[in-house]
Amino acid sequence: MYATQGAVNTLSDLRRASGAFDRVRSLVQTSDPDPSMYGALPPGAWWEVANGAQPVVEPYADKAGDAAVVAAKGGDLELRNVWFSYPLRADLPVLSDVNLTLRRGTVTALVGRSGAGKSTVAALLSRFYSPQRGAILLGEAEAGSFTRGEWARAIAMVSQEPVLFSGTIADNISYGRFGRCSLEEIQAAAEAANAHEFIKRLPDGYKTVVGERGTLLSGGQRQRIAIARALLKDSPVIILDEATSALDAVSEKLVQEAIQRLVAGRTVLVIAHRLSTVQAADQIVVMANGQIAERGTHEELLAASGPYSELMSSQGMMLGYSV
């Protein structure tokens, strides 16, 4: 099959991750939609996808160039003086003068209380929306200088509740890949994602048709399929919304291993809920009320006894396993 755009992939993942169908609908209904929200979807398809239809599989992405991929491999991804409100709540500032640099090849952990604006940062980086003020820069070039298809090639999003569509396992892994790929490549990605072992035990292996929304699979298995998908897509930038719900210890370990393989050498933003992830990050950014409250390494922020240590002690991070 033709690979569908990463944009479609990330759109439905984001929708599922936030559990906010209404949010997507409000975004679709706005009279002045950011063209980025169409991603590389054919005209008219957006509404259907937002309503839960199967993604429209079109070879649009094959036409996208690799300009954003090249820029991301050579430079940082940055939000510069970004101000943002959602279209239907224009009076409510959600991000206020946010400056955030994701350094090339490093991991940035984004932490903060619920509603602080973490998912909104992820949505802007994915170009589901555009900031009202400020800029998104990739290797110093404005995001708008890249086409949607180019952008979608450069960034992959792995959400905590990945959406699978009812097709085969192989289709689900290759979805988001630009250009065709072989079963060997699909299998290699599944192996790196710790998914091959369970896939080969399924009735038809890689040809097993997963149920609507992937219900045949457990949460941990769905996550590993999503990681295999991102590995195969091989984007230089990964936005990872770490799962909050606990998996059993074995599944958790398999997912964490797969994530380590996925993030190695890439520019990563992880919305982090686990102490182990935060500790291992190159940079931790604490958000509060739509602003950056603090940034630094785990040790630096603990020593500062500021918002980070407060967050750690009041909210706590999931403990109990190490990466």
Ligand X SMILES: Nc1ncnc2c1ncn2[C@@H]1O[C@H](COP(=O)(O)OP(=O)(O)OP(=O)(O)O)[C@@H](O)[C@H]1O
Positions that interact with ligand X (CB under 6 A): 23, 26-27, 86, 88-89, 94, 112, 114-120
DSSP 8-state assignment for residue 294: E
Using the minimum distance from each CB to ligand X, give the nearer residue, 22 or 204: 22
Q: CB under 8 Å to 98, separation ≥6 — which residues? A: 79, 81, 82, 83, 84, 117, 121, 134, 290, 291, 292
**Least CB distance to ligand X at residue 9 (A):** 19
Per the CB < 8 A criterion, the answer to whether 237 and 156 are in contact is yes
Closest approach, Cβ 301 to ligand X, in A, equals 18
Smaller CB distance to ligand X: residue 195 or 271?
Answer: 271
- Report the amino acid identity of residue 37: M
Question: 267 pairs with which residues across the strands?
Answer: 237
Least distance from ligand X to the Cβ atom of residue 123, Å: 7
**Residue 303 and residue 253: Cα distance in Å, rounded?**
30
Minimum separation from the CB atom of position 313 to ligand X (A):
18
In Å, how far are 124, 141, 151 from 67, measured between CA atoms?
19, 11, 8
By beta-carbon proximity to ligand X, the closer residue of 97 and 191 is: 97
Query: Nearer to ligand X by C-beta: 157 or 210?
Result: 157
* Shortest Cβ 96–ligand X spacing (Å): 11
d(CA 74, CA 245): 35
Coil, strand or helix: which one is 89?
Answer: helix
Q: Are 126 and 136 in contact (CB under 8 A)?
A: no
Minimal distance in Å, beta carbon 94 to ligand X?
4
Query: Quick one: 8 or 110, whose CB is closer to ligand X?
Result: 110
Phi then psi for residue 235, to 5 deg, are -75, 150
- Give the three-state DSSP class for 287: strand
Q: How far is the CB of 116 from ligand X (least distance, A)?
A: 4
Q: Which is nearer to ligand X, 23 or 253 (CB)?
A: 23
- Alpha-carbon distance of 138 to 70, in angstroms, equals 10
**For ligand X, which is the closer residue by CB, 78 or 241?**
241
Q: How far is the CB of 119 from ligand X (least distance, A)?
A: 3
Number of helices (H) and strands (E) in the chain: give both, helices first.
14, 10
Residue type, 51: N
Choice between 88 and 304, CB closer to ligand X: 88
Helices 6-18 and 21-29, interaxial angle, to 10°? 130
Beta carbon of residue 228, minimum distance to ligand X (angstroms, whole number): 25
For residues 116 and 155, which CB has a smaller minimum distance to ligand X in the complex? Answer: 116
| Close Cβ partners of 65 (under 8 Å, ≥ 6 residues apart) | 147, 149, 150
